[in-house]
Amino acid sequence: MSEPLLEIKNATKVYGGTGFFSKGRTTVALQDFNLTIDAKPATITTIAGESGSGKTTLANLVLGFIKITDGQVRYKGVDVNTMSSGQLMEYRREVQAVFQDPYAVYNPFYRVKHIFDMVLKNFKLAKTKEEGRALIEDALNVVGMRGEEVLEKYPHQLSGGQRQRMMVARAYMLKPRLIVADEPVSMVDASLRAMILDIMLRLRDEYNISFLYITHDLSTAYQIGDNIHLLYQGAVAERGNTVKVIESPKHPYVQLLINSIPVPDPAVKWGGEEVTTLDDEQMRANIASGCRFYGRCPHRMDRCLKKAPPLYSVGEAGHEAACYLYTPETEAVR
Amino acid sequence: MTVQMERKQAAQHVGANDREITLEVKNLKVYYATPTGAVRAVDDVSFHVYKGEILGLVGESGCGKTTTAMAILRMVQPPGRIVGGNVLLDGIDLVGLNEAALREVRWNTLALIPQGAMNSLNPVMRIHTQIAEAIQTHEGRQPKDKLKQRILELLTMVGLPSRIYDMYPHELSGGMKQRVCIAMAIVLHPSLIIADEPTSALDVVVQRVVGQTLLDVKERMNVSMILIGHDMGLQAQLVDRIAVMYAGHMVEVSPVESIFAEPLHPYTQLLIESIPSIKERKPLKLTEGITHDLRNPPPGCIFQERCPKVMDVCRADRPWLRPIKPEHYVACHLYE
């Protein structure tokens, strides 16, 4: 078996606790997270969850923006934290990012071709100007744009969809193996969303680029994702094949999430049970011991408070849910 | 006081199908002056809102939804300007009012839940102080116990526990802050609430809670609402009628059931088709979208450059909103 492309082992990130004012007050943003992305075939792995679930923390860990508290992020078998500068440079080239806000990443004073020129310069991709220009043109063609139409414009002259597609083109130009896409379509209009998702699919199938697709929107994940990890309060609630998880969710939280997605049909009203939300204080209180979803769970049991549930297998192809409803014993009773 | 009396008289005003109309917008035009010509952000838009209904105002970013809302509130900032048209709220034309009279209307009869409303709460004021401020600014000083009673009732109305009365905004979650904003919007019993993307920054579960709160408030107070948004799924769940805007124009207005059953305008069809489904996995529907320059719209239909069904007549004549089915209006040459 070949080495996996990216391997995250027991990643834990704890914020706070060291400052003068925040001594002892810590926030566990991510708890014992495990994830493997195989080198071949390329896949789209979705990380989903509500705000504060730790999905952006995970993206920042993979991109090396923040330091891991415990655990490892391994790229092609090498721990990212112990990489030599040469390896790190390669890692930075092969792991690219596309961010949420397609406007904030541009400097409004430069023409948009600046972002491509920077990449060419920093990674020394081209020997001559013509060669560089050809690389840019090629990358833009992949996302369905032409250089002469856009390169000389300023960011404000492009639509949100165009700006976001150029970010994907920029990432593509470096021939990455993995693109971390943090909510790439949440600020793009619904009618243009499909185009960006389609580009992601094409990059996966034609260019063998894997994606770590971070989103709160389960419906787009369902349309393009291969595997999904659903986070709740920093821990995995459920994971498995995207279609399996969304069509038959097992964890009570995931069931609640999927029932809450508004159906675009006035005749079909929101289903499931009445929803409750908790304020931040209560949320934090619940994390201290046991299952993080206890306070909102309709099926809560006493044992949920004692210890957080591990992942239990609930179906084929690695479909797992962190819930005591699915222990082998309770399964036998049912 | 005169405003109050006029409002009573205007309440007699009824619509074509005998439903009482709260807000009527007629031929509204809002232009933004730029050195290279006026940007027609809202161009000749007409619609109305019945009493006790939620009207959804949808369209992509930049289509003029928020500008329309700001024009209704008379809060368009320069270089923007209301160039023409009328906004009749309970029969009073807001476009002609002076600042003093506007102050009477704003918040008393016309409330706004702004975009990202939860960030509009003052972080150093307790929840009850902020709500009390909204009341006392408009109604003058009030006895303490009565005020507290009223605020607590208000919190119950939007489904919040009374213990948040003494809390600060940072102690609440996003959805709760949003509901505090809804509470502040209804405190003076307005006849129209404009909610600009009230759930855009919230995740689906919280979005559902806030949406249900809005529905609940509408039912109990019989208030009219304009719900601005681009999430068609959410609109299907919440609104009674939908008005679709494109590039500053109204292209379709219809009851929600009718528009989802059979969207008529090609742009509406595109909007509805582009909603990703969680029921079936299907190939993505792609659309190229470049809107014309809003400074000089082409002659004819404003959607001609993106329309898959464009005809010769679309490039020459501008289609006007006309009824195709009961209450279902569309501006498209396909239905002539």
pLDDT in tens, B118-127: 778 899 999 9
- In order along its 336 residues, chain B shows pLDDT tens digits of 444 444 444 443 434 567 889 999 999 999 998 888 888 889 889 999 999 999 999 988 778 888 999 999 998 888 889 999 999 998 889 988 898 888 888 888 999 988 777 778 899 999 999 999 989 988 888 899 999 999 999 998 888 888 889 999 888 877 888 889 989 998 888 999 999 888 877 778 888 888 888 898 899 889 999 999 888 888 998 999 999 999 889 999 999 999 999 999 999 988 888 777 777 777 666 666 566 677 777 888 888 888 888 888 988 888 988 899 888 999 999 987
Cβ of A262 within 8 Å of Cβ of B233? The answer is yes
A131/chain B closest Cα distance in angstroms:
29
Asked if A32 contacts A10 with a C-beta cutoff of 8 angstroms, the reply is yes
pLDDT of residue A102: 78
Cβ of A264 within 8 Å of Cβ of B230? The answer is no
CATH superfamily of B2-239: P-loop containing nucleotide triphosphate hydrolases (3.40.50.300)
Q: Is A19 on the interface with B (CB under 8 A)?
A: no
Nearest to B284 among A194, A243, A246 (CB): A194
Asked if B205 contacts A275 with a C-beta cutoff of 8 angstroms, the reply is yes
Q: Which residue of B has its CA nearest to A193?
A: B274
Give the DSSP letter of residue B202: S
Domains and CATH numbers, chain A: 6-106+169-247 (3.40.50.300), 249-334 (no CATH)
Nearest to A279 among B173, B205, B272 (CB): B173
Q: Looking at beta carbons, which residues of chain A come within 8 Å of B176?
A: 277, 279
Nearest to A266 among B206, B257, B275 (CB): B257
Q: Looking at beta carbons, which residues of chain B come within 8 Å of A190?
A: 60, 230-232, 271, 274-275
pLDDT in tens, A290-322: 788 887 788 888 888 888 888 999 888 789 999
pLDDT of residue B5: 44
pLDDT in tens, A67-83: 888 899 999 989 988 88
**Residue A186 in tokens:** 């949440």
- What 3-state class would DSSP assign to B162? helix
| Sign of the dihedral through C-alpha A97, A98, A101, A105 | positive
Cβ of A256 within 8 Å of Cβ of B203? The answer is no
Asked if B57 contacts B227 with a C-beta cutoff of 8 angstroms, the reply is yes
Task: Identify the band that residue A20 occupies on the pLDDT scale cut at 50, 70 and 90.
Answer: low
Q: In the predicted model, is pLDDT for residue A262 greater than 80?
A: yes
Q: Is A51 on the interface with B (CB under 8 A)?
A: yes
Please state whether the peptide bond connecting residue A298 to the residue before it is cis, i.e. omega within 30 degrees of 0: no
Sheet holding A26-37, edge to edge: A26-37, A6-16, A70-75, A78-79
Q: Looking at beta carbons, which residues of chain A come within 8 Å of B234?
A: 262
Q: Which residue of B has its CA nearest to A264?
A: B233
Substitution target from A232, A265, A268, A276 for chain B, most B beta carbons within 10 A: A265
- Beta strands in chain A, from DSSP E residues, in sequence order: 6-16, 26-37, 44-48, 70-75, 78-79, 95-98, 178-182, 210-215, 227-232, 235-241, 312-313, 320-321
Give the DSSP letter of residue A75: E
